[in-house]
Structure formats: C-alpha cells, structure tokens
Structure 1
Amino acid sequence: MTTGIRPFTIDVPQAEVDDLRERLAGTRWPRELPGPEWSRGAPVDHLRELAAYWEKDYDWRRHEARLNALPQFTTEIDGLEVHFAHVRSAEPGALPLVLNHGWPNTFAEFTELIGPLTDPRAHGGDPAQAFHVVLPSVPGFGFSAAPGPGWSVEATARLYAELMRRLGYGRYGVQGGDLGAYIAPEIARAAPESVVGVYITAGLGFPTEADIPDLTPDELEQYNEIRRWSTGGLDHHALLRRGPQTFAYGWNDSPAALLGWLVHKFEEFSMAAEPLDEVIDRDLLLTNASLYWFTQSAGTSSWPMYETAEFGWPQGQDRVPTGVYAGPPAIRRLAERHNRIEHWPEGNTGRHHFVAMESPGPYADDMRAFFGTVR
C-alpha cells in the first residue's frame, strides 16, 4: 500500500449513542392516516415498534465492533476523502473484487457476503475461487466525504479505478446492484485493461416505452411487471431531484424520520410476501440506519438523484464480459444491445432488491460461477 492510505476505525462517541436513544424515546408520533397498511407510507405501529427496538435492544457497540473487524482505511483521491474496507483472502491466486453498494444503503450491505467471498473454503466453496474484497463507501455515503456539485457515477468509477491502482491491483472484477449497477459498468469503461468482468444484480435489460412495439406478448407482460414494481410506490427519484435539502432537516434531526424513510424504501424493494424483518435481518437494517444517522449522510447520499434530469435504467457496457444475477422480468436480448452477456441464470433465489443482505450464500455462489469463467 502507498503512504496515502491510512487505517480507519469506527469510533462513535458514547454521547452520540446516548443522544440517538434519547431522540428515539422522545419521538412525537403522528396520527395514523386512513387507508390500507403502507398505502400512505410506513405504518405508525410498525415504525414505533422498530424504533423502540433501536432505542432499547439494538446494540450499536456490538455491531460497531463487527464492522471494525473488517480492515478499514481512508485515502484522499482528487481532493475527496474516500473510506473503504479491504479484506484480503488467505487463498493464493485470489481475484481482487470491488463491491459497489446501493442506495439507500452503506458498506454494511455486504457484511454477510465478505466471508463467503474471501474464505470460500470455510463456506463450502472452491478455495480456487476466492476474492480479495475492496468495499468503498460511495462519496457522500457513510464515512466517505460528500462530493461537490456535478458529481456523477462516472466520477465515482474513475475514483474507484484510481483506488484499485493505488492498492496495487492491475487486474480485478467489479460487482454492483442498485446504484452500484450504474457505477460498476463505468469502472470497466474507466479501466477496461484492468477489469476482467462486471457482475450486476439485475438492472440490465429492462424494457422501456420505446421498446414496446418490438416486444413479444411474453416480453410485454414482463414489461408490465416491471412497471408495476417500479411505479407503484414512493418515487424517491422525483422527490430527491426536487427537495433533498428540505427532507434532510428531518433525516438529520429525527431518527424516527430517517428510519421511516429507509424502512419505506426497503419495504418497497421487497418482493416477498413475508414481513421485511423476516427477509432482511433487523439488526442489519438498523446498522445501516445507524451509519446514516451517526455520519449525518442521508442528505449527502441523495446526489445520484438530484444531479440527474430523469430516471433511466442502467445500460451497462461492452468493454468486458458481463454476468447478471437475476433474469426475468429483465430481457436478455435487450441487455445484449449494450453488454457482452456471458452469465444469465434464470433460477436464482432472492426475495429482495438487496439480495446480498437476504441471500448472501447463493449470491456468492453465483458470483463465483461468473468470475470463474473470466478470471
């Protein structure tokens, strides 16, 4: 490593932990609005119960220690302080891999995934398919500094390519889902000579209105399914294009407001019939919320939306091979317009948009299957 990389340890002052609990205890709860559950947003009883757990039972210090078990660092690139975890595998020949977290998430998204990737021997996998994991916090998220006006996924990708160069990695893979599905292909564009493959969690091959005339009946049904999922809830893209500063007052001052915002999106991102906390571990969800709270980054993490004119699905790239975790309702032939698809299984498990939080084992297995063909 170069001298520009400094060790980092999470160390939230006890006064801030106490303040969080006091604010949760003093929440001024609103009346429940009429309508079916979740039709007006996060239900009061549901959020009140989760906030009480956050206040009284959730152990931040335990989870802080768990995060600190991951070697973490910061480095300055182009004037921006970047936080990342860097977990090296003990296996010879391990492939370096950049994991790109999504929104509204943090590097905690991959807590359960790192073990299966870095130590497959201990998780029933092939030790020849191990990874050195590099897990950056997106600028403006968590412990990475907030970028200035005009920041983009392309700028983030160039920053990550420089980070990998600084770590001494000249050949590596990249992964991404949600926001990461936009960043990961851009890393391949920024450093095509170094990236061996891009692995995307869904997001590619989603049809748009312009594709409708050429869709088959089955594909049209898939298009309608995508529209039902993507337009039936809270349009966070539109909200964060218009007023992130306005919403940030609530997120920064009230942990209940922050929790309601995050839980609403995680609920909408679930495709399961079961309650959210049966799909994603409650403590993992609250660790994510705690990182936003303690770093005061709910507002600064909104830049992917407020710096864009309108929402568009990620297109990917054709510089290096691409693997995709989830198949339908995305359409492979549409993804192949912009990507060299070499891995597209259609039977993968997963009940949540953030599948690494819900099914880390199967997700790691599929990632190894793809990178096993390109490493």
Structure 2
Amino acid sequence: MSDAIQPFEIHIPQVELDDLADRLTRTRWPDAGTVQDGSQGPQPGRIRALAERWQDGYDWRGTEALLNGWGSSRTVIDGLGIHFLHIHSPEPDATPLLLTHGWPGSVLEFRDVIGPLSDPRAHDGDASDAFHLVIPALPGFGFSDKPMEPGWGVGRTAAAWGELMQRLGYGDRWIAQGGDWGAAVTTALAHMRVRGLAGIHLNMVMFQPTPEEVADATPQEQRMLDDAVRYDRDYSGYMKLQCTRPQSLAFALADSPVGLASWIYALFQDVSDSGGRPERVISLDHLIDDIMLYWLPNAGPSSARFYWEAAQEMAKGMPNVPLPLPAGVSMLPGEQVRLSRRWAEKRFADLRYFGEATSGGHFAAMENPATFVEHVRSTFRAMS
C-alpha cells in the first residue's frame, strides 16, 4: 500500500564513503582572506581542522547504527517519501511528541534529548513525563525525498506531518515541538488545527515587532531588537541567497564536501551561544554527523530550496492572529531572534509556559539539552 510505514535501514555503500574521502583529499583551499576573525565567514583553519577530523578519526558507521536503532522508517505522503525516526517509550501511557528540525539541522539535532524524553525514569525523571517520539526529516532534507515540483513549503509540510501522525496511530492526542523551520511548521500545524494536536512548544518564534512594541521596548527588549538587527545585517546572507537564488548555490553544495561543510558551519558559528566557536558547545563529530546528513543524500541543494518555497508562501501572507492552541515558548540567550514574555502573550492565545535559559543558542537541543528537556516537560505538564 502507498501509505504503508516501512522500516528503512540506512547503509551507505562503501564506495560513496571512499569517494568522499577522495574529494576531501583533493580539496582546493581558499586563501586566508583579509581579516583574522569570522566577520567574513568561517576562518580556513577551523574548516581545515574539521576536514582533518572528517578524514581521520570520524566514524560514520557508528552514526549509521545509531539512526537505525532509533526506528528509522519511511512512508510516502502526498507523493513524497518521508524519512523519520520513531522511538517508542517503554512507558505505555507516554504522549506522542512530534519533533521537527530546521536548517542546517537534521533529525540528529535531537540525539541528546531522545533518551530523557522517551525514557525519563532512566534519566532521573518521572514516568508521567514520557513521550513516544516521531522525528521526521523535512522534505528535501536527509533521507526524505527531494521535491520535484514547486509547492513543498511550510504549509504542505505541516499537512504531511499531520497525516504522518494519523498513520502512526497517534491521531487522538499528540503534541509538537520545533525550532527554526521546525518552529514554522509547528506553528502552521497549530493554525491549521490539525486533528489530535493538543499543544505545541517552540524554541524560536518567528515574529516582527510592531512599531508600538519598538517604541515601548524595555532595556532587555531593546537588546533583543538590537540582536535581531545584527542578525539581519551580519548573519543572514545565507537566508537571502537561499530565499531568492538557491540553485546558484546548489552546484557547490553538491560537488564539494568542504564547500558544503563551510556553508553549514558558518551558521553554527554565527548563531550558537559559543562566541563563534561552535566546537565549544557541540562536539566536532556531531557537527560532522549533521553535515553527513546533507552530503550523503546530496540534500544540500534541495534543503536550500526549502527557503525559496517558504519565501513564496510568505509573499502571499501568513496568519496574523494569535496562535489558537495551548503553547509553550523557550528563549535561549544566544538565539538571535528573541521576544519577551509580554510580546509572546500578544501572539499566543493560550500561553501555558514561557521559559528562559542561562545558556544556549539557536540549536537548543544540541547546545543545552538538559534545559530543552526541562522546558518541554514543563510545557506539556501545563497541558495535561
């Protein structure tokens, strides 16, 4: 049947890993540039160190086994094959939780929270905090299929996620979480009032302050506004390119592993809470794992096109009413686009939880998994 859920064991042929090793060996490196910091992008020494580890010491087969052990599966929805991880909690009364990643993340964004969320009693938690986890790869990302026609943006993805939860038998009551594009998809799910969705949690809120909010900003809120301006001015070049001319970039992302790695590393550098050194908060092997989920399936080009699709949707207008379902929000200090609680209360009709962290940035589940788990649990306790 076309709607069947099929196990999907990942096993990359050795010839593909050998090709990657050969390409890394033959990298033509750029010159050092004209500045000695990251203001023009990643410094060559950082990317050389990543490439050296990629060539010597990094173990893809271990990651492959990890993914296969987390219920790697696929199903076809709306004509597109969707890859997802499906982790069953040992607790029979666990609540189904849909986790959606963003760019340049992947299903592996959640690797450090899978255990605590699905089996809390094994991680100093209570059985009542247990979740069955569903972690899909966005269309054109990882081992999900690449759309061959326009239209696979945020809204169509949200509809597909709703269908996925029905197929898995979770249609009566489930909850959803996301950051980055995952936040956009999760927000769309709530506005669509998809069957069975009881509430959401976001670690990023896509919003524009009103002129009144800008004029009336507290000192803390003004810092948020200043950070958002800095992000748009200094860090958002990748987004503007991918929203307008993703295919111009596609050839480099498909052909050069170091080119792909540096493009992805740049955002980890710029928007993690690491002082521009993402290796301080995320292990280098985990960064390479993430890059591999773009390199191996040649998903760099197709993932970039997701931005173009979303830009077409936004040009048509997005919902401008408070989000109707119960919601929780986490704000991490290194996130570049933040909002205060009073700003959030205007945008959520039923804000059950608002949590602030002392560390962490855009990649919340990777940078501060303990706080991420705590905030997710607190949000959904408030909805039970």
TM-score of the pair, normalised by structure 1: 0.93
1:90-135 C-alpha deviation (Å, 9 max, x unpaired): 1121000000101111111111111110000011111111000000
Counterparts of 1:1-375 in structure 2, within 5 Å, are 4-147=4-147, 148-169=149-170, 170-203=172-205, 207=209, 211-216=213-218, 218-273=220-275, 275-307=277-309, 308=311, 318-326=323-331, 329-339=338-348, 340-346=350-356, 348-375=357-384
Aligned residue identity for 2:241: L
Q: Is the alpha carbon distance of 1:77 and 1:122 closer, same or farther for their aligned partners in structure 2, counting shifts above 3 Å?
A: same
Aligned residue identity for 2:20: L
Deviates more, 1:290-299 or 1:60-69: 60-69
Q: Is the alpha carbon distance of 1:306 and 1:192 closer, same or farther for their aligned partners in structure 2, counting shifts above 3 Å?
A: closer
Q: Tell whether the 8 Å contact from 2:140 to 2:306 is kept in structure 1 after alignment.
A: no
Q: Tell whether the 8 Å contact from 1:98 to 1:173 is kept in structure 2 after alignment.
A: yes
Q: Is the alpha carbon distance of 1:221 and 1:112 closer, same or farther for their aligned partners in structure 2, counting shifts above 3 Å?
A: closer
Partner-residue secondary structure (3-state), 2:97: strand
Aligned residue identity for 2:291: A
Number of equivalenced pairs: 374
Quote the offset at 1:332 in angstroms: 2.1
Distance across 1 between alignment mates of 2:29 and 2:97: 44
Quote the offset at 1:4 in angstroms: 0.8
Distance across 2 between alignment mates of 1:315 and 1:179: 18
Q: Tell whether the 8 Å contact from 1:204 to 1:316 is kept in structure 2 after alignment.
A: no
Distance across 2 between alignment mates of 1:118 and 1:168: 17
Percent identity at matched positions?
39
Distance across 2 between alignment mates of 1:64 and 1:78: 27
Deviates more, 1:324-333 or 1:33-42: 324-333
Distance across 2 between alignment mates of 1:33 and 1:274: 17
Quote the offset at 1:208 in angstroms: 5.4
Partner-residue secondary structure (3-state), 1:112: helix
TM-score of the pair, normalised by structure 2: 0.91
1:159-208 C-alpha deviation (Å, 9 max, x unpaired): 00001011111210100001111000111233455111110003256525
Q: Tell whether the 8 Å contact from 2:294 to 2:300 is kept in structure 1 after alignment.
A: yes
What residue ranges of structure 2 are gaps of 5+ in the alignment? none
Q: Tell whether the 8 Å contact from 1:87 to 1:118 is kept in structure 2 after alignment.
A: yes
Q: Is the alpha carbon distance of 1:303 and 1:86 closer, same or farther for their aligned partners in structure 2, counting shifts above 3 Å?
A: same
1:2-41 C-alpha deviation (Å, 9 max, x unpaired): 9711110111000001111111011011111101311221
Aligned residue identity for 2:72: Q
Quote the offset at 1:238 in angstroms: 1.1
Partner-residue secondary structure (3-state), 2:346: coil
Task: Give the alignment's Cα RMSD to 1 decimal.
Answer: 2.3
Q: Tell whether the 8 Å contact from 1:157 to 1:184 is kept in structure 2 after alignment.
A: yes
Quote the offset at 1:218 in angstroms: 4.5
What residue ranges of structure 1 are gaps of 5+ in the alignment? none
Deviates more, 1:56-65 or 1:303-312: 303-312
Quote the offset at 1:336 in angstroms: 2.3
Aligned residue identity for 1:373: A
